[in-house]
């Protein structure tokens, strides 16, 4: 037989595009349209429905950036359409290639009842099935003219990302406002042909199945009368019935489809717009669930449920009913789909506490899975947190975006720093926006790494990023692929059902140990410095507020601010969303975040001040008390206590031969040369130099920074090819202040200026570095380098509830790819017997490299902290302005010292005048054990909750002492519920004795007498 394959395939494309798809709606009449341009921010539904409208016509422009227009569409169903299915086709000016990234709408009935959302791939509203002839139609559309930020030429700087700079140019052209007949037979023919055509393209040309489908398609196209598609659609479908009915092979890959609409809680739109995106999407999905009995939809992020509960109760009522029916599945058990690299220990724990508790309280549902499809890598401490929250599974697909190395598994067990293992799945479909295309289904089956030992994978199905969700077309395609020869099988399932099957079939899944590092989006550890500083400051203020409020409540009956802390925690957790904290959102988002963090700081400082005042007593007593919020003794005051601070002797400052100054406090001797650079940091006790010979530390370096894509997200390895050392000096001035000596350094570069204060404090074995940068560069990357005379093949960086080791070498592509990585409060470099810590108060990105010196064969390990970037997309003014950072170099530090110094720099001293010293609520007698939280139980019972962990990576025996009458103790999960099968430790007059594994996390609930 002659090969006419390409001829038939080309015929299929043209006939579908030009004849069959247009025949889905064979008859139409225009609707009358009027519009009200709502002033300012979005208005309540009742106000929008009552707004004064003016006529508008198809072809007219509408919608200034970020504005809202309320359209009223009206018409009459023609009498001769009676008994037929009729839909309104409402095209606001969509580009179908941009689902989730354009204008959107939510359709209401005149009484304010939401009907469904409008999106680029979802423009229809059912009017009648069957319709009544002469029926009057009246619908209202709340249309958001969200501007296109990420356009066909992506990453171009734009002022559209903030309503204050976006201007007033109308963004969209009204494209279609019609009533139309819907021909279900033609629509089904479209789905048949799309499924078979897409499957055919994925099958081997030499295989019989491909030719069977080709011939069936040819016969179907022959059966179509191109001048009368509607009358011949059923005959065409009959020609396809045979190939559609051929079942899948028993060995076919099995895909669990989960309805999904990944909605970024903020990104290329502000938080307030996400509230409406969620309402539109959930309106669509609840309507679709009513029409499609097999369909299952899952939505993560408790915050998004809470938004519609507060702002769209009529939509929430439908959601709550669908959840009760088991069809709309709350998933993930987190407050938001947060970043997991940068949130601190307690914040990461509270993501699960607040997310799971919301789902339990609202729906009676507890999730076993963490659902994070789009998060930019996963910290090594996360498995233990997932388990401690009562969950056991994790889903993500983002690691498929890695640039360098292909991850070796799709289903595996992920082991964290403490040994906890979590069953983990990466959907091999490689997208969280699966649309049921044949190419996607074939890719999932072909790409699956665990063939031969496992057969199940998951496909999150629906338009996402900006929402939209699953469409009726996706459901129709899935139905045809439920069992179809040549294809993977597709079945709608809840995430929990998928995980249960996948784990049961693969009990001996391979193990991956350590972080799940994304080899992409590394610059998110640095972009938008003020957002990151706001997060870090909020986390530590929350620690202080809970500690002192709990102490005051127990000691003096001071009221504990349960509701206020609950609200503030949720605000902080929201801003850890994976496009807010990483700095990858539009200017509007980060401008609002800065204001929000300032308000949070004010509230939390007020809680701390009130509690400390209640504890300290009469300020007229005039006694200065140091309140120590850190988990270690400080200036002679115990952890969680308040008392008189011990002051040390003064340090010494002297001129340095050749220029500069020498600082000495008896523990460290630091030389700062005439350039203002640290050329020596000598550990006097260890008789050991810190700075590599011939090198200078605290060296500011600037690089060009113009990645190939994803400006705010990425830094590409070639940025290192060009570097400028900032050694020019405007000012070098000695500073002496009580028990502190130091120097002030001022430098100018480009259009920017940096001022640094380097100080030694008596009794402290560290060099403090306070940096202020007035930053006005663009597409530049600023770092501070510390070349250390340390031979180390690995280094430690703090993560949640412990630390994680990375290599300093680049033996393999896996190590070379980690050229920018995350730390929390410290980076620690060590050779046996001696180490150095570099601690920070608000930076996360860093790099560590090693070289061998030619002149003495010694090893220089260089730690560089990332300070600032200046990408121009999506915020063209990223990081412009004044920034302040605090770092400290701690020579001779063991890992425990790094932990202590990290807490110290993030928890500044608070001094209060009063009459009473304050004993701590709890004490620990092992330096390696860190108390990460002291608070009252969330259920307002008055119980004291203490969370602690082993911080050095070794085993630890510890006694927790209680500074109050405790009558009982229980080991709990993160939600403060006693753990099943765990025997409570004995409570004695001396407290509670525990034995901890390396990095083990324990939560104790203490009942007060």
Catalytic residues, which ones?
374
Whether 788 contacts 849, CB under 8 Å: no
The pairing of beta strand 489-492 with beta strand 254-259: parallel
3-state SS class at 351: helix
Whether 924 contacts 641, CB under 8 Å: no
Q: What is the DSSP code string of 183-206?
A: -HHHHHHHHHHHHHHHHHHHS-TT
The pairing of beta strand 297-299 with beta strand 328-330: parallel
Q: What separation in angstroms does the CA of 452 have from each of 69, 406, 430, 455, 506?
A: 55, 19, 20, 7, 10
Least Cα distance to 1008 among 350, 551, 354, 357 occurs for: 551
Q: Is 503 left (phi over 0), alpha (psi -120 to 50) or beta?
A: alpha
Beta strands in 166-310 (DSSP E): 172-173, 176-181, 254-259, 297-299
CB atoms within 10 A of CB 488: 24
Beta strands in 800-858 (DSSP E): 802-807, 821-822, 826-831, 834-840, 845-852
Alpha helices per DSSP H over 312-456: 313-324, 345-363, 382-388, 438-447
CA distance 865 to 343: 18
CB atoms within 10 A of CB 11: 15
CA atoms within 13 A on the CB side of 725: 11
**In DSSP terms, which residues pair with 379 in a beta bridge?**
none
CB atoms within 10 A of CB 464: 24
CA dihedral 722, 724, 725, 728 (to 10 degrees): 170
Least Cα distance to 899 among 953, 968, 820, 844 occurs for: 953
Cα 245 to chain centroid distance, Å, stands at: 43
CA distance 555 to 551: 6
Least Cα distance to 255 among 478, 554, 470 occurs for: 478
162, containing H or E segment = none
3-state SS class at 763: coil
Whether 486 contacts 285, CB under 8 Å: no
Length of the chain: 1009
Burial class of residue 836 (count of CB atoms within 10 Å of its CB; 0-12, 13-18, 19+) = buried
Angle ∠(331,334,336) on CA atoms, nearest 5: 100
Look up residue 1002 and give its two tokens: 């324990």
Whether 717 contacts 813, CB under 8 Å: no
Widest distance between CA atoms in the chain: 104
Least Cα distance to 958 among 903, 1000, 909 occurs for: 1000
Least Cα distance to 458 among 433, 501, 438, 428 occurs for: 428
């Amino acid at each position: 037989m002659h090969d006419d394959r390409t001829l038939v395939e080309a015929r299929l494309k043209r006939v579908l595009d030009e004849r069959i798809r247009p025949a889905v709606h064979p008859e139409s009449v225009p609707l009358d349209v009027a519009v009200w341009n709502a002033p300012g921010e979005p208005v309540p539904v009742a106000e929008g429905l009552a707004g004064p409208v003016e006529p508008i016509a198809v072809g007219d422009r509408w919608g200034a950036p970020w504005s809202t227009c309320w359209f009223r569409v009206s018409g009459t169903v023609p009498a001769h359409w009676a008994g037929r299915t009729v839909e309104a086709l409402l095209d606001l000016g969509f580009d179908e290639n941009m689902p989730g990234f354009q204008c959107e709408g939510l359709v209401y009935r005149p009484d304010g009842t939401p009907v469904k959302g409008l999106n680029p791939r979802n423009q229809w509203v059912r009017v009648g099935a069957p319709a009544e002839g002469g029926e009057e139609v009246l619908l209202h559309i709340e249309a958001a003219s969200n501007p296109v930020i990420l356009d066909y030429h992506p990453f171009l700087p734009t002022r559209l990302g903030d309503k204050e700079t976006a201007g007033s140019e109308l963004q969209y052209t009204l494209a279609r406002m019609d009533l139309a007949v819907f021909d279900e037979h033609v629509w089904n023919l479209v789905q048949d042909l799309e499924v078979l055509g897409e499957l055919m393209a994925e099958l081997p040309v030499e295989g019989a199945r491909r030719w069977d489908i080709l011939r069936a398609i040819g016969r179907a196209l022959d059966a179509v009368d191109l001048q009368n598609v509607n009358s011949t659609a059923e005959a065409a479908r009959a020609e396809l019935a045979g190939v559609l009915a051929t079942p899948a092979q028993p060995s076919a890959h099995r895909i669990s489809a989960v309805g999904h609409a990944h909605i970024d809680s903020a990104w290329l739109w502000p938080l307030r717009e996400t509230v409406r995106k969620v309402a539109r999407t959930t309106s669509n999905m609840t309507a679709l669930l009513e029409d499609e009995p097999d369909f299952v939809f899952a939505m993560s992020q408790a915050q998004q449920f809470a938004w519609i509960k507060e702002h769209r109760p009529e939509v929430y009522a439908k959601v709550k009913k669908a959840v009760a029916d088991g069809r709309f599945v709350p998933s993930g058990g987190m407050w938001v789909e947060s970043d997991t690299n940068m949130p601190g220990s307690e914040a990461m724990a509270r993501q699960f506490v607040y997310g799971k508790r919301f789902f339990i309280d609202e729906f009676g549902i507890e999730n076993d899975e963490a659902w994070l499809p789009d998060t930019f890598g996963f910290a090594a401490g996360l498995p233990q947190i997932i388990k401690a929250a009562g969950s056991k599974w994790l889903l993500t697909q983002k690691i498929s975006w890695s640039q360098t190395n292909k991850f070796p598994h799709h289903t595996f067990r992920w082991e964290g720093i403490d040994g906890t293992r979590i069953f983990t799945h990466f959907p091999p479909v490689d997208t969280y926006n699966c649309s049921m295309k044949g190419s996607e289904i074939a890719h999932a089956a072909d790409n699956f790494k665990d063939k031969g030992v496992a057969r199940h994978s998951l496909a999150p199905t629906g338009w996402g990023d900006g929402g939209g969700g699953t469409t009726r077309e996706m459901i129709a395609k899935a139905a045809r692929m439920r069992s179809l020869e040549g294809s993977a099988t597709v079945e709608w399932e809840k995430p929990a059902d998928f995980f249960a099957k996948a784990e049961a079939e693969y009990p001996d899944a391979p193990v991956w140990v350590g972080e799940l590092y994304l080899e992409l989006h590394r610059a998110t550890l640095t972009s938008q410095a003020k957002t990151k500083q706001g997060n870090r400051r909020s986390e530590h203020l929350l620690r202080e507020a809970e500690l002192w409020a709990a102490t005051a409540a127990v000691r003096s009956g001071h009221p504990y601010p349960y509701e206020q802390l609950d609200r503030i925690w949720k605000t902080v957790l929201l801003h850890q969303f994976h496009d807010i904290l990483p700095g990858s959102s539009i200017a509007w988002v980060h401008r609002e975040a800065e204001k929000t963090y300032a308000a949070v700081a004010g509230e939390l400082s007020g809680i701390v001040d009130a509690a400390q005042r209640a504890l300290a007593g009469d300020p007229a007593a005039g006694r200065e008390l140091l309140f120590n919020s850190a988990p270690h003794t400080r200036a002679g005051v115990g952890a969680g206590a308040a008392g008189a601070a011990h002051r040390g002797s003064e340090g010494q400052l002297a001129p340095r031969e050749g220029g500069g100054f020498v600082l000495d406090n008896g523990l460290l001797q630091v030389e700062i040369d005439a350039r203002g650079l640290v050329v020596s940091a000598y550990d006097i006790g260890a008789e050991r130099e810190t700075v590599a010979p011939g090198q200078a530390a605290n060296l500011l370096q600037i690089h060009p920074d113009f990645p190939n894509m994803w400006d705010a997200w990425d830094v590409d390895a070639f940025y290192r090819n060009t570097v400028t050392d900032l050694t020019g000096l405007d000012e070098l001035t000695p500073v002496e202040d009580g028990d502190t000596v130091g120097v002030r350094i001022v430098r100018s570069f480009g259009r920017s200026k940096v001022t640094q204060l380097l100080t030694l404090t008596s009794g402290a074995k560290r060099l403090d570095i306070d940096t202020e940068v007035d930053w006005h560069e663009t597409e530049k990357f600023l770092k501070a380098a510390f070349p250390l005379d340390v031979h180390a093949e690995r280094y430690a960086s703090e993560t949640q509830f412990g630390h994680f080791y990375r290599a300093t070498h680049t033996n393999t592509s896996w190590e070379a790819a980690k050229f920018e990585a995350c730390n929390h409060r410290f980076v620690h470099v060590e050779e046996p017997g001696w180490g150095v810590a570099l601690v920070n108060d608000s930076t996360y990105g860093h790099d560590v490299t090693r070289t061998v010196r030619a002149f003495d064969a010694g090893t220089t390990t260089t730690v560089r902290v990332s300070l600032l970037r200046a990408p121009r997309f999506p915020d063209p003014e990223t990081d412009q302005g004044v920034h302040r950072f605090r770092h400290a170099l701690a020579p001779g530090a063991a890992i425990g010292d790094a932990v202590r110094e990290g807490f110290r720099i993030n928890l500044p001293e608070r001094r209060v005048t009063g009459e009473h010293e304050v004993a701590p609520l709890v004490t620990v007698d092992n330096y390696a054990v860190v108390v990460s939280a002291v608070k009252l139980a969330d259920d307002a019972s008055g119980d004291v909750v203490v969370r602690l962990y082993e911080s050095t990576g070794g085993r630890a025996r510890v006694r927790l002492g209680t500074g109050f009458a405790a009558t009982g103790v229980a080991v709990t999960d993160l939600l403060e519920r006693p753990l099943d099968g765990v025997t409570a430790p004995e409570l004695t007059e001396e407290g509670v004795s525990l034995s901890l594994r390396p990095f083990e996390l324990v939560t104790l609930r203490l009942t007060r007498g």
